[in-house]
Chain A
Amino acid sequence: MNVRGKGIIVTGASRGLGEALAREFARRGGRVIGVGRDEATLKSSMRRIREEGGDAHAVVADIADKNAVHGIAAAAAELVGPVEILVHNASTLGPVPLRLLLDTPCEIFEEALAVNLVGPFRLSKIVAGAMAVRGSGLVVHVTSDAAVSPYPKWGAYGISKAALDHMTRIWATELAPFNVEFLSVDPGEMNTKMHADAMPEADPGALSDPKAIAARLADLIERSPRLASGSRVDVEGRPL
């Protein structure tokens, strides 16, 4: 699927991988909606992309807020529609500093599910529903190896991503007749604020540059033939 001319939503676009994805898609001619909670940061990120010649708009909203999703979808449809690519990148670690499940407040656990799983579910219901009657579309879930490996203290986050990966598979199966495709992509460890929050002692030099990861992810999306819908892959497209 060529990115040029397509309407694209990226959540968690204020910084990190989300911002890098918004920039990369815009650079390739995509028409981008960046969604984020932090108005000032999101707006300046999208503005910088526009100054570089890209087509990017800021939609300030909290993906976990049930009352916000219809506004996100409506603004995207009207400003850059039809939306053909939806990237669920917005994530929360859950408790920071990370801690054992035994020490994780229930409400923080629920919040991780709300942001990382239910929010994407709600937004996908709306956007993929519209994609289905158009007979095409791609939804990408950004995942993590914490969804597979039971790292201690990564419970809330890892569990939400494991569920998100299963959602990829079920959406893919149910919407196959409508040619709407789903992928889980694990971008690996990147030099971002989220990584620093999770592992403050990590050496940034050993981490990937989100800009480079974003370029590989965009290549993955533009690759033809496409990866099988429902796949869980790394940024090179290798099955995980």
Chain B
Amino acid sequence: MIAAPTAEDLPRGHRMLVVSRERCFESVTAEIGSMLTSNDLVVVNDSATLPASFFATRSGVPLEVRLLRPARREGEMDLGQEWTAVLFGAGDFRTRTEDRPSPPRLTVGDALIVARDLTLEVSRVHDGWKHRLVDVRFPARGEALFRLLYRHGRPIQYAHTRVPLAIWDVQTGFADRPWSIEPPSAGFFLRGSERADLAARGVTVAPLTHAAGISTLGDEELDRRLPLPERSSIPRRTAALVGAAKERGGRIIAVGTTVMRALEGNAARHGSATASDEIVDLVITDAHRRRIVDGLLTGMHELGTSHHRILESFASKRTLTQAFAFAERAGFRSHEFGDAMLVLPSLNGER
């Protein structure tokens, strides 16, 4: 599939491949509302995307620091001064990630100079991660930390975009708490107009906040450890809406694989949808039996990635292979700003 160059503003939204047990066909994201009923519940990830990429030098040698998550001490949940980060060597979005050189080998105490008012101090080098995973300490906390983050950080870039992505290019239309390192991109498909259409049809959209993680660590072996555990928060209202929808036989439609991970991880731990703020480490494979999520809206993803394995919990390998072959022939576009896929169990409203 062709990687999409930029996010487009289309009146009818993106092309959308609809996959269900009966058949597979092409539609557009503007038609999502027509495939759902007021019995259903659409759940989105309302995390904002952080400008998580920092270009720095250590003793004059350039490198890139990509924040992964706060380096939390026991019991601490807030965004703090210390962050776990993955290192990349010199280069930028014009170079494919796999072609970037290795980063310099860092030691505890190293000063990574980002700007005149921002030096990151290396406070830990993680064992067993090929010297690519470190903890870095920011020189401020609270509001001052945010100012440094947003002044000097840039969104993580992708090699297939024509111009660098700005902070406003990587937010969904409901972005709230800044927990995600890369955008929960399925959320792009629900623009204001799609959400207005859903509201007009009586379909409720409810949020949860899930820290979408990094898509690659720049090393094939390390990438097999993804996804890492992620912080996930389900508000009381959303948990109640999920329970009510289930009770009346409605479908829970997850907008994005992060929402699926959040809801299924939550149910695996608590039994049913429960208000929570915790770390989710569930990895969804084809063997996963879904407890909560009935349908999934996601971007087209290449076969073989961890995202594709999630699709296997909805449909057989055979159905998915046919669906992807259809998509390939029809010229669907993959990756972060590409086309959409809606997986529904059935086209007649069943779960």
Whether A and B are associated in the same complex: the answer reads yes
Proximity string of chain A (128-146) to chain B, C-beta cutoff 8 Å, 1 when within and 0 when not: 0110111100000000000
Please state if B178 and A77 are interface contacts (CB–CB under 8 Å): yes
Interface contacts (Cβ under 8 Å), in number, total 81
Please state if A130 and B46 are interface contacts (CB–CB under 8 Å): yes
Which of under 10, 10 to 19, 20 to 34, or 35 or more describes the interface residues of A? Answer: 20 to 34
- Chain A residue contacts of B167, Cβ below 8 A: 67, 70
CB B273 to nearest CB in A, in angstroms, measures 17
- Chain B residue contacts of A174, Cβ below 8 A: 192, 196
CB A37 to nearest CB in B, in angstroms, measures 13
Known contacts A60-B147, A71-B146; A129/B174 CB under 8 A? yes
Please state if A178 and B199 are interface contacts (CB–CB under 8 Å): yes
Q: Is B206 interfacial (CB 8 A cutoff)?
A: yes
Please state if B171 and A77 are interface contacts (CB–CB under 8 Å): no
Q: How far is the CA of A177 from the CA of B33 in the complex (A)?
A: 15
Q: Which of A16-71 contact B (CB under 8 A)?
A: 57-61, 66-68, 70-71
- Chain B residue contacts of A73, Cβ below 8 A: 48, 175-176
Q: How far is the CA of A66 from the CA of B149 in the complex (A)?
A: 16
Please state if A78 and B178 are interface contacts (CB–CB under 8 Å): yes
Q: How far is the CA of A82 from the CA of B206 in the complex (A)?
A: 14
- Chain B residue contacts of A66, Cβ below 8 A: 168
- Chain A residue contacts of B199, Cβ below 8 A: 177-178
Task: Tell me the interface secondary structure of chain A in the complex.
Answer: helix
Please state if B147 and A70 are interface contacts (CB–CB under 8 Å): no
Known contacts A70-B168, A71-B150; A132/B174 CB under 8 A? yes
Please state if A130 and B176 are interface contacts (CB–CB under 8 Å): yes
- Chosen A-B contacts, 19 in total, with CB atoms closer than 8 Å, are A58-B143, A59-B143, A61-B147, A68-B150, A73-B48, A73-B176, A74-B146, A74-B178, A81-B176, A82-B176, A126-B175, A129-B174, A129-B192, A130-B174, A132-B174, A133-B44, A133-B174, A133-B207, A135-B206
Seed contacts A71-B149, A71-B151, A73-B176; 18 additional CB < 8 Å A-B pairs: A73-B175, A74-B146, A74-B178, A75-B143, A77-B48, A77-B177, A77-B178, A78-B78, A82-B176, A129-B174, A129-B192, A130-B174, A130-B207, A132-B195, A133-B174, A133-B195, A177-B196, A177-B199
